Amino acid sequence: MDQSGKPPVTIADLKEAVGKEIGVSQWHEISQEMINAFADVTKDHNFIHVDPVRAAETPFGGTIAHGFLTLSMLSVFAYQAMARLEGRKAGVNFGFEKIRFVSPVPAGARIRGRFTLDYLKIRPSGYIEMTYGVTVEIENQVKPALTAEWKGIAIMEQGAVQA
């Protein structure tokens, strides 16, 4: 078992999962402290993120998380939502397509990730390329915070992928 609490999956399991939901993470609160720390690390101190008094005067009604903070939560969401692939040595980001910041995430809101496996290709190198449909949901809201296509590469152990 891994962080997801799920048993490992095989390549055959993943091939069967293409086009299906493969996991949902736990809820995570996006606190003002987290937003402030992200602002400090990224040097993005826009008042809508860090000044509750000024932000209260905007249509948001208070501070909101940075879109990139919401996007960066996908890593922990993926660890919780998706089972480990048997024979995988490492996984790396390959990029994103169609990132959309649909709704702001208010400070104090809880969000989670929902994942579908949209594409899987075994490369000649034995690496496995995957595309996930990701949706970041905001608790008690209909519209999501974010939608995207997330591309990843699974670096496999020698002999884990049969030709």
Tokens of residue 16, six digits: 């069967």
Backbone phi, then psi, for 76, in 5-degree steps?
-65, -35
Tokens of residue 23, six digits: 């996991």
**Taking Cα atoms as reference points, which of 109, 80, 86 lies closest to residue 22?**
80
Backbone phi, then psi, for 119, in 5-degree steps?
-155, 145
Q: Give pLDDT, residue 2.
A: 57
| Sequence-ordered list of residues with C-beta below 8 angstroms from that of 90, at least 6 positions apart, any chain | 154, 155
Q: Give pLDDT, residue 92.
A: 93
Tens of pLDDT along the chain (163 residues)? 556 677 888 889 999 999 999 999 999 999 999 999 999 999 999 999 999 999 999 999 999 999 999 999 999 999 999 988 988 889 999 999 999 999 999 999 999 999 999 999 998 888 999 999 999 999 999 999 999 999 999 998 877 676 5
Per the rule left: phi > 0, alpha: psi between -120 and 50, beta: everything else, 87 is: left
Q: Give pLDDT, residue 6.
A: 77
**Taking Cα atoms as reference points, which of 89, 70, 88 lies closest to residue 148?**
70
Backbone phi, then psi, for 95, in 5-degree steps?
135, -175
Structural domains present in the chain: 11-30+65-156 (3.10.129.10)
Q: Give pLDDT, residue 117.
A: 97
